[in-house]
């Protein structure tokens, strides 16, 4: 594959370049931190950030001191790779790697789970079950646990070794030390039973002969299975992050009809050049950005502006790649192509926002980084003390048994359950309430949000135009609607569909229409049951010298409410006004009020005009309005709020919202919206109900509280058991930690964690 410079995030500064490097080989958040630390220490690197979720490193460096190749070699030195390819190929390669990673984790987990279950049953029986108490039982456990350790768990040992080489400790280190100590000790205890029997005889005198010397194969295998379950859930959530970019790239038009040498030809859209003349027909997506030369149409630009109503376009107006031509045909001159189009800018903004979002340090990793060196230190001290004070004939065996006992009691069995069980129950309750939470990071942050920014169109409103008002003049309201709908039934204009739909909702029969004419940029003209109808904007009325009589004030009020007005005339006389607007969702006001009651500031943001935005905001009780904001500015507005030390949540549904959703601390997508928005978000409201935002916040608080409680229970037994395992009580009471007590302590901590997580099943949100 030909190496090329990444076209994403490259920005020439004064001797400084900022690039985005797609990384391969990362298996956990600790990998991302390791790469980030190594890059940050590299000469010439100004700033380095690595995002595990998007598998990308964003690096700003001095071109005089290091180049892209040097950065790649730095990353490769610590065991990771860099994809060198065109951007679309990068997305494909990363997607393939994510799928392979998920498949491998799934396979390893099921192997570990199936093989660990009988080992766990044997260990928990403590010899009380007759048919499990036979001479070869330890060899059976060895045979079952070995594939788990050396196949399913090998990634943890490899990561721990890599961390040790760079003088760092994390969750992988604790897993490797705990499970490795348990496995190695158990192997030696199985093959050299007599050596260990001397040290354990007094503690194990009540045990059956076959289990007189304790083994801890279940500690090694079960912990690996549980940790793999957590990694599997994490990989599933991680796999969704790249899908947002893929959804946006799918909006790119593949082919374009251009005029070259006075001939109309079809070429790949990425071969369009600035200055090319392009033809677009009704229903087609526009391939690149440009300026209309001839023709007119109504264009759906909701992916850019969020405005549900199509925009009328004519000669000299700008059009944008990826938007949809709804009605007429036109020709335009290409002005921006390739990575310079508005759609590609949205792609860039989404990726930049995802890449700049610093990964949240896992609490378990933080604790492990402190806990692991302490445990290893205590174990070493334990060995030295027991070797020094024990009788000569038992000093080595006693020192070794107590050394290993400290490491085994520190095994993170409950720690492996602490987060995944709470996340599983919490996300399950979210789904029951119509809230799909994609990651633990979203759960961790959501309850700490200070501001919720709501997109207007499709989020606060229904996202489609509908008739809101009909004001007739000397004619029955339904009769006027029937005439207007009959004429509009022949129109391709999107507002026409709203009028026809309203007539059908009122069970009005449509009448025969003759001599229908679409008047460019003004409205329509038609003959219906001997009526001559004119329907359109004020310009159309002025052209035919039709006054509004006493309806000027009503028209002004409707217009100030953010509604689109159409004026009707029958046989040259003013007949009335019909208003169309995007209506507010029924639950929006209650949802806004509930958020405000939680102490959260609610802001509305939209690409629509200020008058419409303020009218919608007033209706639902929102005071702060950000109007006429394009996609790039939406993400910038979110960033500006974050720079004020505010935790910001963004709720949206459109392609235009994707950069802001990715930039926000928590992005919340409306499930009825576009795929790109849903994939860019951390949370999806499956039912499109804004009250789901309140549910997500409350569920976040309950789940994180449970995770912290679980971590407490996961460590309290270790903290109490480690001193006993080290022999602190032996001088006073002659007590050493028996394997029965060790197993019971680990079991009790795991049961406590699971039981505590299951309490989340009682979570409910009052509506």
Confidence of residue 410 (pLDDT cuts 50, 70, 90): low
**Model confidence at 744: pLDDT above 80:** no
Task: Express as a percent the part of the chain with pLDDT over 70.
Answer: 77
Instruction: List phi, psi (to 5°) of 28.
Output: -160, 175
Residue 714 has pLDDT above 70, yes or no: yes
516 backbone dihedrals φ, ψ, rounded to 5°: -75, 130
Q: What is the pLDDT of residue 479?
A: 93
Strands 277-280 and 255-260: antiparallel
Contacts of 155 (CB under 8 A, 6+ apart): 27
Percentage of residues in the chain with pLDDT exceeding 90?
17
pLDDT of residue 44 exceeding 60, the answer is yes
Report which secondary-structure segment, H or E, holds 330: strand 330-336
> Do 325 and 286 touch, CB atoms closer than 8 A?
yes
Mean pLDDT of 520-537: 88
Contact between 291 and 307 (Cβ < 8 Å): no
Question: Pick from 134, 131, 135, 179: which is nearest to 154 by CA?
Answer: 179
Q: Where are the alpha helices (DSSP H) in 522-579?
A: 538-543, 552-560
Q: At residue 129, does pLDDT exceed 70?
A: no
Task: Indicate which residue of 276, 289, 455, 665 is catalytic.
Answer: 455
Q: Which residue has the higher pLDDT, 244 or 74?
A: 74
d(CA 485, CA 14): 61
**Residue-level pLDDT at 482:** 93
Q: Tokens 């194990």 belong to which residue?
A: 204
The pLDDT tens digits for 496-505 are 888 999 999 9
Q: Quick: pLDDT tens for 187-236.
A: 888 887 666 554 454 444 444 444 456 677 877 788 788 778 767 765 66
Average pLDDT for 380-405: 78
Four-CA torsion 387, 390, 394, 397, nearest 10 degrees:
-40
Pairwise CA distance, residues 362 & 163, whole Å: 16
Pick from 356, 592, 584: which is nearest to 452 by CA? 592
Show the tokens assigned to 96. 């393939």
> Are residues 622 and 454 in contact, defined by beta-carbon separation less than 8 angstroms?
yes
pLDDT (0 to 100) of residue 483: 92
Task: Give me the residues paired with residue 292 across strands.
Answer: 332
pLDDT digits (tens, 9 = 90+) for 256-302: 999 988 888 999 888 889 999 999 988 888 999 999 999 888 888 77
Strand arrangement of the beta sheet that strand 513-519 belongs to: 461-472, 573-584, 564-570, 531-536, 523-528, 513-519
CA 647/CA 668 separation, integer angstroms: 14
**Are 587 and 486 within 8 A, CB to CB?**
no
Is the CB of residue 380 less than 8 Å from the CB of residue 403?
A: yes
**Strand pairing of 666-670 and 683-685?**
parallel
Output the pLDDT for position 313: 87
Closest among 422, 448, 446 to 692, alpha carbons compared = 446
- pLDDT of res. 592: 93
How many beta carbons lie within 10 A of that of residue 152, not counting itself?
Answer: 24
**Model confidence at 179, in pLDDT bands (50, 70, 90)?**
confident
The pair of structure tokens assigned to 345 is: 């800018």
Does the pTM of the predicted model rise above 0.85?
no
**Per-residue pLDDT at 111 exceeds 90:** yes
Query: Distance between CA atoms of 311 and 413, rounded to whole angstroms?
Result: 60
C-alpha–C-alpha distance, residues 669 and 655, integer Å: 11
Question: For residues 415 and 401, what is the distance between their CA atoms, to the nearest angstrom?
Answer: 24
- How large is the average pLDDT for residues 630-640? 85
Q: 């007599």: which residue's tokens?
A: 194
Question: How many whole angstroms separate alpha carbon 388 and alpha carbon 404?
Answer: 17
| Calpha distance 203→205 (Å, rounded) | 6
Buried b (16+ CB within 10 A) or exposed e, 246-266: bbbeebbbeebbbeeeeeeee
Count, residues in the chain = 767
Do residues 86 and 6 lie in contact, with contact meaning Cβ atoms separated by under 8 Å? no
Of 52-56, 127-131, 491-495, minimum mean pLDDT range: 127-131
The closest of 249, 351, 302, 307 to 663, measured between CA atoms, is 351
Overall average pLDDT of the 456-470 stretch? 85
Calpha distance 88→152 (Å, rounded): 33
What tokens appear for 415 in the block? 């720690």
* pLDDT range class, residue 3, cuts 50, 70, 90: very low
Which is more confident, 373 or 535?
A: 535
More confident residue, 152 or 371: 152
> What's the pLDDT band for 126 if we cut at 50, 70, 90?
low
Determine phi and psi for 596, rounding to 5 degrees: -65, -35
Average pLDDT over residues 115-144: 77
pLDDT digit string (tens) for 648-700? 999 988 777 888 888 898 988 887 666 666 667 788 887 778 888 988 888 88
With vertex at residue 624, the alpha carbon angle to CA 557 and CA 632, rounded to the nearest 5 degrees, is 105
CA 65 to mean position of chain CA atoms: 36
pLDDT classification of 440: cutoffs 50, 70, 90: low
Helices (H), 292-450: 302-305, 342-356, 363-389, 395-409, 413-432, 440-446
Which pLDDT score is estimated for 9? 38
Q: Which of 282, 248, 327 is nearest to 87 (CA)?
A: 248
* Mean pLDDT value across the chain: 79
Mean pLDDT for 442-457 is 87
What CA–CA distance (Å, rounded) separates 62 from 406?
49
Question: Average pLDDT, stretch 406-411?
Answer: 68
Which tokens is 223 given?
A: 């912990």
Residue 482 vs residues 222, 504, 680: alpha-carbon distances, Å: 72, 9, 43
| Residue 237, pLDDT above cutoff 60 | no
d(C-alpha 168, C-alpha 580), whole Å: 63
What is the arithmetic mean of pLDDT over 436-454? 82
Q: Which two tokens stand for residue 633?
A: 């500015």
| Residue 67 is a catalytic residue | no
Residue 151: the pLDDT is 94
CA distances from 146 to 127, 158, 230, 282, 513 (A): 22, 16, 21, 65, 81
Terminal alpha carbon distance of the chain: 56
Tokens at residue 613, please? 């935005």
Q: Is 12 left (phi over 0), alpha (psi -120 to 50) or beta?
A: beta
Q: What is the pLDDT of residue 108?
A: 93
d(Cα 706, Cα 517) in Å, to the nearest integer? 66
Tell me the pLDDT band of 360, cut-offs 50, 70 and 90. very low
Alpha helices, H only, 192-240: 193-204, 217-238
Parallel/antiparallel/unpaired status of strands 573-584 and 16-24: unpaired
DSSP 732: H
Band (pLDDT 50/70/90 cuts) for residue 361 is very low
Cβ atoms 479, 720 nearer than 8 A? no
Q: Band of the pLDDT at 408, cuts 50, 70, 90?
A: low
At residue 226, the pLDDT reads: 74
- Judged by average pLDDT, the poorest of 241-245, 267-271, 571-575 is 241-245
Number of DSSP helices (H) and strands (E) in the chain, helices first: 27, 27
């Amino acid at each position: 594959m030909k190496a090329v410079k990444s076209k994403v995030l490259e920005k020439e500064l004064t001797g400084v370049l900022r690039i985005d490097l797609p990384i391969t080989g990362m298996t956990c958040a600790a990998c991302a931190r390791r790469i980030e630390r190594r890059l940050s220490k590299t000469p010439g690197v100004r700033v380095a950030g690595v995002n595990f979720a998007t598998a990308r490193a964003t690096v700003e460096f001095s071109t005089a001191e290091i180049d892209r190749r040097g950065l790649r070699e730095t990353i490769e030195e610590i065991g990771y790779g860099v994809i060198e390819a065109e951007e679309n190929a990068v997305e494909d390669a990363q997607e393939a790697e994510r799928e392979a990673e998920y498949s491998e984790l799934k396979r390893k987990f099921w192997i570990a789970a199936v093989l660990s279950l009988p080992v766990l049953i044997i260990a928990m029986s403590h010899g009380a079950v007759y048919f499990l108490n036979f001479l070869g039982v330890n060899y059976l456990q060895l045979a079952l646990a070995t594939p788990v350790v050396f196949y399913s768990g090998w990634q943890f040992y490899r990561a721990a070794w890599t961390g040790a080489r760079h003088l760092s400790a994390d969750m992988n280190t604790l897993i490797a030390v705990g499970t490795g100590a348990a496995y190695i000790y158990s192997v030696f205890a199985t093959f050299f039973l007599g050596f260990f029997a001397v040290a354990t005889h007094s503690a194990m005198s009540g045990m059956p002969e076959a289990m007189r010397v304790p083994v801890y194969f279940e500690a090694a295998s079960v912990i690996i299975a549980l940790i793999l379950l957590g990694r599997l859930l994490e990989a599933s959530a991680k796999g969704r992050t790249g899908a947002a970019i893929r959804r946006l790239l799918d909006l790119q038009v593949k082919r374009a009809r251009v005029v070259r040498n006075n001939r109309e030809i079809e070429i790949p859209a990425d071969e369009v050049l600035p200055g090319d003349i392009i033809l677009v027909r009704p229903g087609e997506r526009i391939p690149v950005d440009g300026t209309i030369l001839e023709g007119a149409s109504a264009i759906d630009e909701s992916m850019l502006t969020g405005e549900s109503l199509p925009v009328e376009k004519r000669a000299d107006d700008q059009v944008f790649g990826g938007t949809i031509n709804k009605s007429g045909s036109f020709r335009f001159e290409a002005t921006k192509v390739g990575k310079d189009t508005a759609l590609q800018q949205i792609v860039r903004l989404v990726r930049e926002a995802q890449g700049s979002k610093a990964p949240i340090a896992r609490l378990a990793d933080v604790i492990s980084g402190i806990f692991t060196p302490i445990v290893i230190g205590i174990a070493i001290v334990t060995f030295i003390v027991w070797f020094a004070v024990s009788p000569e004939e038992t000093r080595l065996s006693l020192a070794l048994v107590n050394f290993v006992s400290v490491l085994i009691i520190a095994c993170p069995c409950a720690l492996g359950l602490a987060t995944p069980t709470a996340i599983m129950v919490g996300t399950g309750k979210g789904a029951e309430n119509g809230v799909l939470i994609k990651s633990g990071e979203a759960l961790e942050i959501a309850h700490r949000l200070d501001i919720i920014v709501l997109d207007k169109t499709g989020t606060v409103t229904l996202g489609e135009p509908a008739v809101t008002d009909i004001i007739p003049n000397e004619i029955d309201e339904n009769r006027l609607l029937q005439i207007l709908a009959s004429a509009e039934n022949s129109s391709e204009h999107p507002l026409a569909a709203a009028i026809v739909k309203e007539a059908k909702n009122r069970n009005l029969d449509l009448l025969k229409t003759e001599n229908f004419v679409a008047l460019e940029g003004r409205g329509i003209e038609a003959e219906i049951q001997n009526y001559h109808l004119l329907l359109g904007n004020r310009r159309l009325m002025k052209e035919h010298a039709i006054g509004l009589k006493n309806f000027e004030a009503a028209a002004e009020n409707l217009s100030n409410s953010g509604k689109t007005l159409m004026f009707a005339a029958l046989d040259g006389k003013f007949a009335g006004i019909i208003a169309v607007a995007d209506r507010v969702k029924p639950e929006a006001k209650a949802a806004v009020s509930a958020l405000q009651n939680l102490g959260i500031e609610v802001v509305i943001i939209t690409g629509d005009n200020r008058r419409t935005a303020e009218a919608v905001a007033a209706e639902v009780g929102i005071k702060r309005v950000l109007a006429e904001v394009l996609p790039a500015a939406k993400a910038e507005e979110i960033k500006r709020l974050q720079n004020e030390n505010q935790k910001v949540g963004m709720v949206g549904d459109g392609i235009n919202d994707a950069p802001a959703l990715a930039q926000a601390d928590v992005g919340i997508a409306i499930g009825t919206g576009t795929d790109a928005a849903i994939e860019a978000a951390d949370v999806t409201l499956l039912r499109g109900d804004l009250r789901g935002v309140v549910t997500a916040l409350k569920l976040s608080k309950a789940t994180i509280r449970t995770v912290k409680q679980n971590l407490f229970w996961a460590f309290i037994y270790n903290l109490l058991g480690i001193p006993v395992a080290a022999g602190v009580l032996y001088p006073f009471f002659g007590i050493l930690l028996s394997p029965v007590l060790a197993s019971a302590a680990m079991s009790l901590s795991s049961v406590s964690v699971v039981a505590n997580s299951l309490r989340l099943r009682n979570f409910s949100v009052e509506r």
